[in-house]
Amino acid sequence: MPQDKSHLRQQRILDAALRIFSRKGYRDASVDEIASESGTSKGGVYFHFPSKDIIYLQLLDRTVARLQGKIEEAMAEHDHPIAKADAALLAVLRTFDKHGALARFFMVETLGAGRKFQLRMAETRGEFAAIIRQHLDAAVDQGIIEPIDTEVAARAWFGALYEVITSWILVRTPERLEETYAALRPLLMRSVGAEDVRLSTLVTS
């Protein structure tokens, strides 16, 4: 089907752009390099994506959609609201642990790509923090934790995760990103008064 071929070509271009952007950053990457990397003519790239900006924004949106899918899948396995919030953070870690180029593109290179991309990332952080807040609100409603400012707590949780991931991308220590969560998780739990929540109710695998 022509539409299927067009979609596959678009995805091939985006995959190539991800590799280029993660290696060179937005400013130093060129459409010529993306075309060469994807085995497509420069005109073919522009046919699907009229500008480098649009390629980058499409990549951001695709990454957000992938992360949201992983988060929803992980949270669906749990009923406990703290476990759901925990699973959401761990899903982000595991996704980036498996896809280093994606992690670098999303967490590092976008910071220097320009204001429009930074604003999109700010929106994305807000969207992910809202997921955490939803389950912290549920934990408050169910009496699992004491009433707190869940908006601040959710942003602090995601901010801590963001810092851990960014540091890992730059220095690659420890070897596996997920290992950092063993130290981070108790700090997050204590920050909302959930240190007494049995770890057996949380994500352990």
Q: Which residues touch 63 (CB under 8 Å, ≥6 apart)?
A: 102, 105, 106
> How does DSSP classify residue 112?
G
Statement: residue 197 has pLDDT above 70: no
Contact 186, 142 (CB under 8 A): no
Which fold is adopted by the domain 1-50?
Arc Repressor Mutant, subunit A (1.10.10)
What are the residue boundaries of the structural domains of the chain, listed by start? Answer: 1-50, 60-201
CATH topology of domain 60-201: Tetracycline Repressor; domain 2 (1.10.357)
Confidence class for position 196, pLDDT limits 50, 70, 90:
low
In this structure, are residues 59 and 30 in contact, taking their beta carbons and an 8 Å threshold? no
Residue 203, pLDDT > 70, answer no
Averaged pLDDT score across all residues of the chain = 90
With 0.75 as the threshold, say if the pTM is over it. Answer: yes
Gap between the Cα atoms of 12 and 25, Å rounded:
19
> In the predicted model, is pLDDT for residue 199 greater than 50?
no
Statement: residue 185 has pLDDT above 80: yes
> In the block, which residue shows the tokens 């739990």?
189
pLDDT greater than 60 at residue 195: yes
Q: What pLDDT band is residue 201 in, cutting at 50, 70 and 90?
A: very low
The answer on pLDDT for 51 being more than 80 is: yes
Alpha-helix runs per DSSP H in the chain: 2-28, 31-38, 42-48, 52-75, 81-98, 100-107, 115-141, 150-171, 180-191
Q: Decide if pLDDT at 176 tops 90.
A: no
| DSSP state for residue 77 in the 8-state scheme | T
Rg (the chain; Cα; Å): 19
- The answer to whether 29 and 21 have CB atoms below 8 angstroms apart is yes
Please, is 79 exposed, middle or buried when counting C-beta atoms within 10 Å of its C-beta (0-12, 13-18, 19+)? Answer: exposed
Condensed to tens digits (0 to 9), the pLDDT of residues 55-91 reads: 999 999 999 999 999 999 999 999 999 999 999 999 9
Q: In this structure, which amino acid lies at residue 140?
A: V
